[in-house]
Amino acid sequence: MYRILLLLFFAAASLCAESIFTLRGVDRVYPVVDISGEKVPKSSKPAIREALDATIGELGIDTAGYSDRSLAILVAEEYVGETVLINVRLVIGEQVKRMGSDDKVFALTYQNALAFAYDKESVEEKLEDSVDELLSKFADQYAQERGTLKRVKEKGSLAASLGYETDYETAVARAKKEHKNVMLVLVANYCPWCRKFEELVLRKEDVNALVHSKYVPVILNKEKDAFPPAFNISFTPVVHFVDPATQQAYHTVAGYNSRDEFVHWLEADKRP
């Protein structure tokens, strides 16, 4: 295991240009997450591993037992002058045959990378965003090349775990009774930004507590669930803040917003 990590780090550090390889033959991997450096919070490792395992599971990739093909997320810090950069790489490392020979060599057959400037207050959120973006790109390429499509998580699982309603009329009736406004979240089947918004924003405990303190939240799949046509815009995800008495939106947040951006709006909303 240690040898694999050393090989992955060496290869990832040595490969200067991002390379794109076919993923058709990648049906079994050994998942790895490694974090190095003093600035990177080690507490993020379980969440990164959970995200990696979830993506692997969604794509149907086998992880049983040991494989000499590793799908790894590698996080390390790098100093450029006085600036600290956090590098996040998603790589596949494996033994491959050298052309014209039966000899095998260790090679990176896939790599994608992101980097951001270190900031103590936001490093954890930026790390989660980077990992999710890399996994989404990998999953999209994998699904495209293998002729499959990656769906966002079913709305029922989010609603059940966070206490969201799944019926618009029920949410409106409850909001009237509780003297709250409705927070209507619309997602779509093939929308990676919807998944990103669900996982990195709505599932956060502080965000969910704030949402429930002010609204009756409801999440719907715009492709199959019933809701007023006026709320159907071209963006996903989209969040409408609705007055239950008039059933009109007094504010709309279209597209993906980070946790900080979304919380800022929630806290600024003083509408009774």
- The series of mean pLDDT values per 10 residues for the chain, 272 residues long, is 50 44 83 91 90 87 91 93 92 83 83 91 88 85 68 65 94 96 90 80 91 96 92 90 96 88 92 80
Model confidence pLDDT, tens digit, residues 31-62: 999 999 888 888 889 989 988 998 898 888 99
Q: Which amino acid is at 4?
A: I
Q: 251 and 241 in contact (C-beta within 8 Å)?
A: yes
The answer on 59 and 125 residing in a single domain is yes
- How far, in Å, CA of 256 to CA of 242, rounded? 19
Do residues 85 and 213 both lie within one domain? no
Cβ atoms of residues 50 and 31 within 8 Å: no
Kindly state whether residue 180 falls inside one of the protein's structural domains.
Answer: yes
Can you give the pTM of this predicted structure? 0.55
Q: Are residues 134 and 164 in the same domain?
A: no
Mark out the alpha helices in the chain (DSSP H runs).
Answer: 2-14, 45-59, 123-145, 155-162, 168-178, 192-197, 205-214, 259-268
In terms of domains, do 113 and 194 share one?
Answer: no
**The domain boundary residue, chosen from 117, 145, 173:** 145
Task: Examine the fold and report which residue of 145, 174, 203 is the final residue of a domain before the chain moves on.
Answer: 145
Sheet holding 181-187, edge to edge: 215-221, 181-187, 238-243, 248-254
Smallest CA-to-CA distance from 153 within 183, 196, 208, 182 is with 196
Same domain, 163 and 262: yes
Q: Are residues 73 and 179 in the same domain?
A: no
Peptide bond into 237 cis (omega under 30): yes
Q: Are residues 138 and 176 in the same domain?
A: no
Residue 64, in any domain of the structure: yes
Looking at the fold, whether 100 and 225 belong to one and the same domain comes out as no
136 with 162, same domain: the answer is no
Do 191 and 140 sit in the same domain of this protein? no
18, 66: one domain: yes
Residue-level pLDDT at 253:
93
Residue-range definition of the domain harbouring residue 186: 155-268
150 belongs to a structural domain: no
Of 145, 178, 199, the one marking the end of a domain is 145
Same domain, 114 and 238: no
